[in-house]
Amino acid sequence: MLYPLFLLAAGILVMIQPRTKRWQTRMHAHFKGNEQRIKQRANTFFLLGFAFIMAGLAYLYRSAVSS
């Protein structure tokens, strides 16, 4: 029962990560100010976090139905 909650928490954390000031300054330095690449990386993190959340919800649903 702990694994789905971990997936949900990790998904939320990964989705919020690109919005932090520290992440933005590091990506700005890494991509040398290329805003398109920075936005692309942020969208990738959002989709990865969304996938974690969906997997967590699927595990919760499966554990609720099988019980």
Helix (H, G, I), strand (E, B) or coil at 20: coil
Q: Residue 36 in contact with residue 64, Cβ under 8 Å?
A: no
Reported as a single tens digit per residue, the pLDDT across 41-54 is 999 999 999 999 99
- In three-state secondary structure terms, 67 is coil
Neighbour tally for 56: CB within 10 Å: 20
Query: H or E segment at 14?
Result: helix 2-16
Q: How far apart are the C-alpha atoms of 66 and 30, rounded to whole Å?
A: 47
Give tens-digit pLDDT for 3-36: 999 999 999 999 999 999 999 999 999 999 999 9
